[in-house]
Amino acid sequence: MRGLRLAAAAALSAGLVVSSVSVATSSPDRSARTSTFVSTVRDATRPFHSLATAKRAGYTTVLKTTTGQACITNGAGDMGIHYVNGALLGDALLRIRKPEALMYEPTPTGKKLVAVEWVVFRQAWLEAGHTGAPRLWGHRLNLVPAGNEFGVPAFYELHAWIWKANPSGMFYEWNPRVHCP
């Protein structure tokens, strides 16, 4: 958690410029765009089914709540354990092929990659002159206000359940099929 807070502070104090990410496709069909999105993210994150590979790629900080909980859970479902890449978090950019966090579900045979998450700190987004929430591949990121359960400044986030289906929707925060111990 300390590493995440340091990365957050560094990103905010550096006043980094944040890019708005917009990807155009030739198909007006939303399902075709979503299919392309899923394929792109899966291709980029496939190697991270191996947690050791993910750690070598910089996903080393385990995000924890202020109470020390690593496997994020609530009544609507769970998220799993977030492994954050501090270098990606610190630059405050959204890149489709490099999400800031990978989410793993603890299983009896080890941790299983289930989803990815993009994160942009709100202050950096506003300081870059943007209005409204950032969007990635046509999806608006959700605002998590300051005073959140992670103890970090306000940020925008978008989950994508790329590796485990979510009956609540691919971009819904909580997945009732993911279980924390």
pLDDT digits (tens, 9 = 90+) for 128-160: 888 889 999 889 999 999 999 999 999 999 999
Over 60: is that where the pLDDT of 7 sits? no
The answer to whether the pTM exceeds 0.85 is no
Secondary structure class of 29 (helix, strand, coil): coil
Structure-model confidence comparison of residues 31 and 67, the more confident one = 67
Q: Residue 164's Cα: distance from chain center in Å?
A: 15
pLDDT tens track for 97-127: 999 999 999 999 999 999 999 999 999 888 8
Report the C-alpha gap between 138 and 109 in whole angstroms: 36
Q: What is the pLDDT of residues 46-87, one digit of tens each?
A: 999 999 999 999 999 999 999 999 999 988 899 999 999 999
Which residues lie closer than 8 Å to 116 by C-beta, 6 or more apart?
Answer: 41, 45, 99, 101, 102, 103, 159, 160, 162
At 55 the three-state DSSP class reads: helix
- Per-residue model confidence (pLDDT) at position 122: 93
Q: How far is CA 16 from CA 6, 43, 45, 93, 96, in A?
A: 15, 28, 25, 9, 19
Buried b (16+ CB within 10 A) or exposed e, 105-136: bbeeeebbbbbbbbbbbbbbbeebeeeeebbb
Residue 90 has pLDDT above 80, yes or no: no
Q: What angle do CA 168, 99, 113 make, to 5 degrees?
A: 60
| pLDDT value of residue 72 | 96
**pLDDT for residue 1 is more than 80:** no
